[in-house]
């Protein structure tokens, strides 16, 4: 029996507004699984031609799979969202790249022919479940020096990246962070970010019910002078600060994936076509460099070069991590192709959810830039990995 590989398309991607983690954050009294359900409801509302009984699988990622982020979220959140009981589900974990991995895993199934339509999602409620809650790292990691102890603290790995590339100074990191805040503010003013937000009902014991409709973390009032005064919590006289890093956040994302022919059959929109993807490992102590080898690997699989990429969505876990990526490929710190609507330094990085947030941003850029044929989404991943997905713009004249 012969099989042909099918084209995989991104039909739509949405996310909840991202909140600040902690007891004062807007999601402090909202469950993680309810954030996923809210994203699912918005996907269905926006895509009335999607027959939910034809969803072949649901994959939901979470880094800390415990409490309301546990119990096979793909299945439980699907039931809670009202999907038919015939729709199966699963959970995924690749730390920060959880949602990205949910997308690539399901896309592989679609390309192989096992699925026609699938839903990928990611969630992290860092207020309820701090990174590392309940984990028990094997003592061999330290006893046998398999990894440096700093590999388990992401902020310290970012300081290590500054050490490895001393020309990537704190000043450059702060300048990059300021641009992220400014671009996010402009994207909000232009009504761009709002196009993929799923409003979420929230509850406060003190204030009652409300609605989350905008991101909580952005600080448009940020200045270079203010950034320069921030403390360096991971190292005395270090370079990584709360201002040039993503914060601790809560939020969820979700996306519809389908084969091209099924999307055409059902009249579903196509926001991007998957070209290639790759994951790569690096030394855990400098996990932020991970997007470099994963991007090289993905470009090779696609038969493309970095010069073919017209738009970049790079997750801003730390400014130095983005700068190391740009520096490697000879891209200027302020290149307009990179994160045109800002990034995680401004809107937040709820770990496993962020991969789909990157895809939602890229899809919007594709819509606004039909002259660009290829774009990519990439991110560093805890414990020393990188992930990259290359996409083709369906609005481009030469699109497949």
CA 195/CA 210 separation, integer angstroms: 20
Contact 351, 100 (CB under 8 A): no
**In contact, 239 and 352? CB cutoff 8 Å:** no
- SS3 readout for 231-260: CCCCCCCCCCCCCCECCCEEEEEEEEEEEH
CA 125 remoteness from chain centre:
14
For residues 105 and 279, is the Cβ–Cβ distance under 8 A? no
The structure tokens listed for 215 are 């991101």
What whole-number distance in Å separates Cα of residue 151 and Cα of residue 286?
Answer: 7
Question: With the C-alpha atoms ordered 73, 77, 79, 80, is the resulting torsion angle positive or negative?
Answer: positive
Active-site annotation holder among 41, 96, 129, 196: 96
CB 349 within 8 A of CB 189: no
Six-digit token string for 102: 């949910």
Distance CA 83, CA 52 (A): 6
> Is 349 considered catalytic here?
yes
Other CB atoms within 10 Å distance of the CB of residue 133:
13
Q: Say whether 129 is catalytic.
A: no
C-alpha separations of 115 from 56, 63, 170, 261 in Å: 6, 25, 46, 12
Query: Does residue 380 carry a catalytic annotation?
Result: yes
Q: Which of 41, 162, 196, 380 is catalytic?
A: 380
- Residues identified as active-site: 96, 349, 380
């Amino acid at each position: 029996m012969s099989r042909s590989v099918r084209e995989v398309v991104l039909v739509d991607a949405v996310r909840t507004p991202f909140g600040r983690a902690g007891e004062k954050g807007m999601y402090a009294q909202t469950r993680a699984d309810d954030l996923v359900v809210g994203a699912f409801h918005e996907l269905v509302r926006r895509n009335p031609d999607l027959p939910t009984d034809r969803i072949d699988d649901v994959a939901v990622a979470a880094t800390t799979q415990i409490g309301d982020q546990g119990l096979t979220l793909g299945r439980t959140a699907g039931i809670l969202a009202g999907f038919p009981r015939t729709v199966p589900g699963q959970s995924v974990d690749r730390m920060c790249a959880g949602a990205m991995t949910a997308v690539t895993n399901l896309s592989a199934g679609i390309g192989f022919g096992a699925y026609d339509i699938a839903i990928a999602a990611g969630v992290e409620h860092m207020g309820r479940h701090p990174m590392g809650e309940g984990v028990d790292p094997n003592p061999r990691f330290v006893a046998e020096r398999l990894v440096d102890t700093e590999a388990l603290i992401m902020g310290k790995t970012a300081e290590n990246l500054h050490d490895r590339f001393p020309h990537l100074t704190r000043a450059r990191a702060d300048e990059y962070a300021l641009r992220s805040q400014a671009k996010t503010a402009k994207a909000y003013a232009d009504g761009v970010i709002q196009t993929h937000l799923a409003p979420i009902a929230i509850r406060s014991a003190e204030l009652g019910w409300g609605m989350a409709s905008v991101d909580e973390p952005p600080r448009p009032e940020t200045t270079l002078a203010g950034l320069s005064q921030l403390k360096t919590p991971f190292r005395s006289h270090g370079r990584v600060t709360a201002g040039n890093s993503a914060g601790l956040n809560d939020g969820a994302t979700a996306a519809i994936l389908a084969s091209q022919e099924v999307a055409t059959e059902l009249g579903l929109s196509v926001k991007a076509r998957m070209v290639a993807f790759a994951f790569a490992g690096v030394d855990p102590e400098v996990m932020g460099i991970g997007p470099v080898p994963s991007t090289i690997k993905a470009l090779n699989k696609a038969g493309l070069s970095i010069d073919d990429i017209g738009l970049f969505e790079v997750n801003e876990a730390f400014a130095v991590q983005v700068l190391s990526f740009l520096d490697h490929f000879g891209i200027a710190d302020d290149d307009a192709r990179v994160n045109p609507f800002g990034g995680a330094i401004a809107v937040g990085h709820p770990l496993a959810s962020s991969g789909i947030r990157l895809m939602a941003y890229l899809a919007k850029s594709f819509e606004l830039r039909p002259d660009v044929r290829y774009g990519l989404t990439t991110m560093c991943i805890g414990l020393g990995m990188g992930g990259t997905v290359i996409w083709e713009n369906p609005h481009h004249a030469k699109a497949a």
